[in-house]
Amino acid sequence: MGAVNGLKDVVAAESSISRIAIEDGKAVLEYRGYNIHDLARHSTYEEVAYLLLFGELPSKSDLEYFSEDLKERRELPPQIVGLLTNLSPFCHPMVALRTAVSFLGTMDKHISFTGHEKSIEKAKNLIAKFPTIVAYFHRIRMGEKLVHPSEDLGHAANFLYMLHGEEPTKTMEKALDLDFILHADHELNASTFAARVAASTLADMYACVVAATGTLIGPLHGGAAQRVMEMLREVALPKRAERYVLEKLAKGERIMGFGHRVYRNVIDPRTVELKRLARMLSKEKGTRWFEISEAIEKAVYRHKGLLPNVDFYSASVYANLGIPDDLFINIFAIGRVSGWTAHIIEQYENNVLIRPRAEYIGPAGKKFLPLSERE
């Protein structure tokens, strides 16, 4: 059999974490069997993180315990604060996050343990500390005083509090919580696959999450949302969307936030939720980001037949939450770390080394010439 470049449509692992299917012409996304729309409407990110890690929805007391546990793990060791302080202020916040994850590994005496209990501990630590790393690095680079984690606020509200230095409104809190839920997992996307490849060698969880954060940053994956925002700023007015799209397509360039490896000709169910959220926030904040986005969506569909992916409406959601453009990928990572760690644990617990083959297409059997004889 020939090579399947990009592993397109190759089923490369068994997993019981998220299910993507096309049923009756519509895309369905479930986490551990629960539909994303139900989770979006009725749960919180903490509930979803618990579901992804433990496989079942928590009881009320399980959730209280888990949420408290996460709160207690939020603060960063002074060494990590020192590291963030010493990074260059022009370091991309995703590079800062990746570096901090690696550094956290140096402080874990049980770094190489891959057993269930220790892995859950590491996962909870990473989920709890990701927002603090992102908010602290942002405030440090802006020359602002750190805002320490709150003991009262939930995961999403606490992040906005640490970032902006003031408690968010209920609408902002709910919006970011919903965004985290929608980004929490997505089967074998590139960053999760990278994490699983690392896990399949029994590398430590920090190494796996470093692989995932390093992969998410790429513009064909999580990096697209930041580029979407650059596009929204460049387009600036809904009436300019059509021309922008036509010019891009004529040059053979990709429009960021459109197209998807799995959702082909069907709308990503997360986009439906994010579009609703983007519309609501733009109205509430009185911005034009939603209008511009919708005009671009229509033009791209008209001229290329492509649908928006999860990164597209995320951009205007984040802009309306007052999040700087270069933190967009980090916001994705804060949501996705629960999925990454759940996949790493699943890989450890049913491990087979991931090592596919390549179809060799270079020259073969060439005669070796010693250096002195080469021209």
Ligand X SMILES: O=C([O-])CC(=O)C(=O)O
Ligand Y SMILES: CC(=O)SCCNC(=O)CCNC(=O)[C@H](O)C(C)(C)COP(=O)(O)OP(=O)(O)OC[C@H]1O[C@@H](n2cnc3c(N)ncnc32)[C@H](O)[C@@H]1OP(=O)(O)O
Q: Please, which of residues 110-169 interact with ligand X by CB under 6 A?
A: none
For residues 225 and 270, the answer to whether their CB atoms sit within 8 Å is: no
Binding at 256: pick from ligand X, ligand Y, none (beta carbon under 5-8 Å per type): ligand Y
Q: Site size for ligand X, by CB under 6 A? A: 6
DSSP 12: -
User: Which 3 state secondary structure label does DSSP give 308?
Assistant: strand
Distance, first Cα to last Cα, the chain: 39
- Calculate the alpha carbon distances from 45 to 24, 124, 157, 165, 316 in Å: 29, 13, 11, 21, 20
DSSP code, position 5: G
- Which of ligand X, ligand Y, none sits in contact with 98, Cβ below 5 to 8 A by type? none
Angle between helices 289-304 and 224-235 in degrees, nearest 10: 100
174 versus 261: smaller Cβ distance to ligand X: 261
- Which amino acid would we find at residue 142? M
Q: Which is nearer to ligand Y, 205 or 306 (CB)?
A: 306
- For residues 114 and 309, which CB has a smaller minimum distance to ligand X in the complex? 309
The site that binds ligand Y (CB under 6 A) totals a number of residues, namely 19
Query: Segment 197-226, which members bind ligand Y (CB under 6 A)?
Result: 220-222, 224
- Shortest Å distance, C-beta 163 to ligand Y: 22
- List the catalytic residue out of 179, 185, 268, 311: 311
Tell me, yes or no, if 164 is annotated catalytic. Answer: no
Could you say which of ligand X, ligand Y, none residue 25 binds, taking C-beta under 5 to 8 angstroms by partner kind? none
Task: Name the binder of 259 from ligand X, ligand Y, none, CB < 5-8 A by kind.
Answer: ligand Y
Interaction of residue 261 with ligand X, rule CB under 6 A: yes
Cβ atoms within 10 Å, residue 209: 31
Q: Which of 114, 200, 309, 316 binds ligand Y (CB under 6 A)?
A: 309
User: What is the Cα gyration radius of the chain?
Assistant: 22
Rounded to a whole number of angstroms, the minimum distance from the CB of residue 14 to ligand X is 17
Q: Which is nearer to ligand Y, 127 or 224 (CB)?
A: 224
Smallest separation, CB 282 to ligand Y (Å): 20
CA 4 from centroid of its chain's CA atoms: 25
Q: Which CB atom, from 136 or from 273, has the smaller least distance to ligand X?
A: 273
Measured distance CA(335)–CA(314) in Å, rounded: 12
Active site residue 260: yes
Q: Which residue of this chain has its Cβ atom nearest to ligand X in the complex?
A: 189
Residues 281-320, interacting with ligand X (CB under 6 A): 309-310
* Dist CA 70 CA 80 (whole Å): 18
What is the C-alpha to C-alpha distance for residues 312 and 242, in angstroms, rounded to an integer? 16
* Active-site option among 138, 183, 260, 343: 260
- Does position 298 interact with ligand Y (CB under 6 A)? The reply is no
> What angle (nearest 5°) sits at the alpha carbon of residue 256, between those of residues 253 and 261?
95
Report DSSP letters for 97-159, one per residue: HHHHHHHHHHT-TTTT--SHHHHHHHHHHHHHHHHHHHHHHHHHHTT----PPPSSS-HHHHH
The mark string for 179-198 relative to ligand X (x by CB under 6 A, - otherwise) is -------x--x---------
Of 49, 52, 353, 358, the residue nearest 203 (C-alpha): 353
As to burial, measured by CB atoms within 10 angstroms (0-12 exposed, 13-18 middle, 19+ buried), residue 240 is: middle
**Mask for 227-266, x = binds ligand Y (CB under 6 A):** ---------------------------xxxxxxxx-----
Binding residues for ligand Y (CB under 6 A): 6, 189, 220-222, 224, 254-261, 304, 306, 309-311
**Residues with active-site annotation:** 260, 311
Binding residues for ligand X (CB under 6 A): 186, 189, 261-262, 309-310
